[in-house]
A and B are shown apart, each in its own frame.
Chain A
Amino acid sequence: MKDIPDGLAYTKEHEWARREGDLVRVGITAYAVEQLGDVTLVDLPARGRHVRAGERFGDVESVKTVSELYAPCSGEVVEVNERLAAHPEIVNASPWDEGWMIVIRPTDVTELAALMDAAAYRAYLASLDH
């Protein structure tokens, strides 16, 4: 299993959320990418859209499957990774970094506390392997 970076918050659906000042950057984990295989299409919301924690905000499609994306916290989408429209393979190459998906201006950052930290996410992944 790939390293799980500390300092991020993780959802059960394998999104990661990173605090960056007042904002939260969101992507999917290396585990999610490994399960998906080659990503061929990333469907993201328009900037300005409001999302609620746990709500579906987009889709990631690989050659064989479709996977839904869930918001780790509520707020306004202030940035969208436009590069992924033409180059979805960036998600495979760099899930933690260049393959980020959206940036949210959260209405309530304490929502992130309800998510898993790196240690809990590692344990969660180990439980999935059974």
Chain B
Amino acid sequence: MSDAPLRRTPLDAEHEALGARLVPFAGWRMPLHYPDGIVREHHAVRRHAGLFDVSHMGELWVRGPDAVEVVDRVVTNDIRRLADGRARYTVACNERGTILDDLIVYRVAADELLIVCNASNREKMAGVVRAAASGRSAEVDDATERTGLLALQGPHAFDVLAKAGAPSELVSMPSFSIRRALLAGVDVWIARTGYTGEDGVEIVCPWESTVAVWRALLAAGAVPVGLGARDTLRLEARLALYGNEIDETTTPWEAGLGWVVKLDKGEFTGREALAQARRRPLERTLVGFEMTGRGIARHGYQILDEDGAVVGVVTSGGPAPSLDRNIGLGYVPPRLSDIGTALRIDVRGKPVDAVVVRTPFYVRPREPAAP
């Protein structure tokens, strides 16, 4: 870790005034939780609407006639077939077919794409996209330090938006779409995407207007939620976290992300290695498990089989507030990946019983049919 001073989001003073516990995260000073605490914030998102400051995440704009081609060569999913105003979840791989980052690509227009990437991978991804753009007609603009990013998530997210004065037709936005809108007098990009397993939006704001949007959404009833609950929410929804489930040692096949790899879409970085890996049996695969014994699995704990032999490692683990259980994700050999397989987790020297379960652990209830 470097000793460089932490970057502060445009909402730093807001978090402090709200009494947030601020912690270093990927080089930024970020709210872990507010005085309500992680569990209440978690429930606020599942039951109402939570507001997250995720301005640490990277925003890379790719503009120019070759913008689509440049991005398509970097990522594994098919960007060429993305319509204007639509978004896609994907990963970017290196030549070895392991994961550089997971990201969402938004196609704003045929010659303008927005990539939202992990804060920890921002410089790396900016470099990768710039390299792909060199010699082509596209420019890459890393706008992270000029851009605020908010996530408004939960069953009442659109009620909050309406109350904050957003255009009423936003509620009919399709999932994974993006459009421009006026919110609290600010010209923003609103995308129907998120990282919680709930309905909701992410809002891309100019840096200096982020406070106005944040305050308007809180005044409209959203509950501020920190990164602690963001992690419990995404784990329940089995969304991968870079650095935990995925990194430069894992392939999308192992991580259960094969659905974002389109081997037949045309040339892209890592395609050859991914095609080869596809033909070999997996050595390990990511599974969800639930603790049946008393104990909490944590990132890095060893997974044991019934005989006590080490067979894998926990990538994420912790309490699941919506399920009132302790859950986790981890890599095991495929022979131990069937639902119902008994495992043990080495919890600081004590083997605690666990069982492989179906994921996502949490699926949000279906919304009532539209009137």
User: Is A76 interfacial (CB-CB < 8 Å)?
Assistant: no
By beta carbon, the residue of chain A nearest B40 is A38
Find out whether the CB atom of B294 lies under 8 angstroms from the CB atom of A41: yes
Find out whether the CB atom of B37 lies under 8 angstroms from the CB atom of A40: no
Contacts of A63 in B (CB 8 A): 38-39, 228, 232, 318-319, 321
User: Is B32 interfacial (CB-CB < 8 Å)?
Assistant: yes
**For the complex, what is the distance from the CA of A43 to the CA of B21, rounded to whole Å?**
26
User: Is B33 interfacial (CB-CB < 8 Å)?
Assistant: yes
Contacts of B228 in A (CB 8 A): 37, 63-64
1/0 per residue A48-76: CB within 8 Å of B? 00000000000101111010000000000
**For the complex, what is the distance from the CA of A56 to the CA of B33, rounded to whole Å?**
29
**For the complex, what is the distance from the CA of A7 to the CA of B70, rounded to whole Å?**
69
Find out whether the CB atom of B348 lies under 8 angstroms from the CB atom of A59: yes
Find out whether the CB atom of A37 lies under 8 angstroms from the CB atom of B33: yes
Highest count of chain A CB atoms <10 Å: which of B37, B318, B321: B37
Find out whether the CB atom of B318 lies under 8 angstroms from the CB atom of A64: yes
Contacts of A37 in B (CB 8 A): 21, 32-33, 37-38, 228
**For the complex, what is the distance from the CA of A41 to the CA of B319, rounded to whole Å?**
9
User: Is B295 interfacial (CB-CB < 8 Å)?
Assistant: yes
The contact of B37 among A38, A59, A66, by CB within 8 Å, is: A38
User: Is B298 interfacial (CB-CB < 8 Å)?
Assistant: yes
Find out whether the CB atom of B295 lies under 8 angstroms from the CB atom of A41: yes
User: Is B257 interfacial (CB-CB < 8 Å)?
Assistant: no
Find out whether the CB atom of A64 lies under 8 angstroms from the CB atom of B296: no
Find out whether the CB atom of A40 lies under 8 angstroms from the CB atom of B33: no
**For the complex, what is the distance from the CA of A40 to the CA of B21, rounded to whole Å?**
19
Find out whether the CB atom of A38 lies under 8 angstroms from the CB atom of B296: no
**For the complex, what is the distance from the CA of A59 to the CA of B295, rounded to whole Å?**
10
Find out whether the CB atom of B348 lies under 8 angstroms from the CB atom of A40: no
1/0 per residue A22-56: CB within 8 Å of B? 00000000000000011011010000000000000
Contacts of B231 in A (CB 8 A): 64
**For the complex, what is the distance from the CA of A66 to the CA of B295, rounded to whole Å?**
11
By beta carbon, the residue of chain A nearest B321 is A63
Find out whether the CB atom of A64 lies under 8 angstroms from the CB atom of B348: no
The contact of B38 among A38, A43, A59, A61, by CB within 8 Å, is: A38
**For the complex, what is the distance from the CA of A91 to the CA of B187, rounded to whole Å?**
46
A64 with B38, Cβ < 8 A, contacts A37-B33, A37-B228, A59-B348 known: yes
Contacts of B321 in A (CB 8 A): 63
Contacts of A61 in B (CB 8 A): 296
21 contacts between A and B (CB under 8 A): A37-B21, A37-B38, A38-B37, A38-B38, A38-B39, A40-B39, A40-B296, A41-B295, A41-B296, A43-B294, A43-B295, A59-B348, A61-B296, A62-B38, A63-B38, A63-B39, A63-B228, A64-B32, A64-B228, A64-B231, A92-B37
7 A-B pairs with the lowest CB-CB distances in the bound complex, closest first: A40-B319, A38-B39, A63-B38, A38-B37, A61-B296, A38-B38, A37-B37
Known: A40-B39, A41-B326, A43-B295. 12 other contacts (CB 8 A): A37-B32, A37-B37, A37-B228, A38-B39, A40-B296, A40-B326, A63-B38, A63-B232, A63-B319, A64-B231, A64-B318, A92-B37
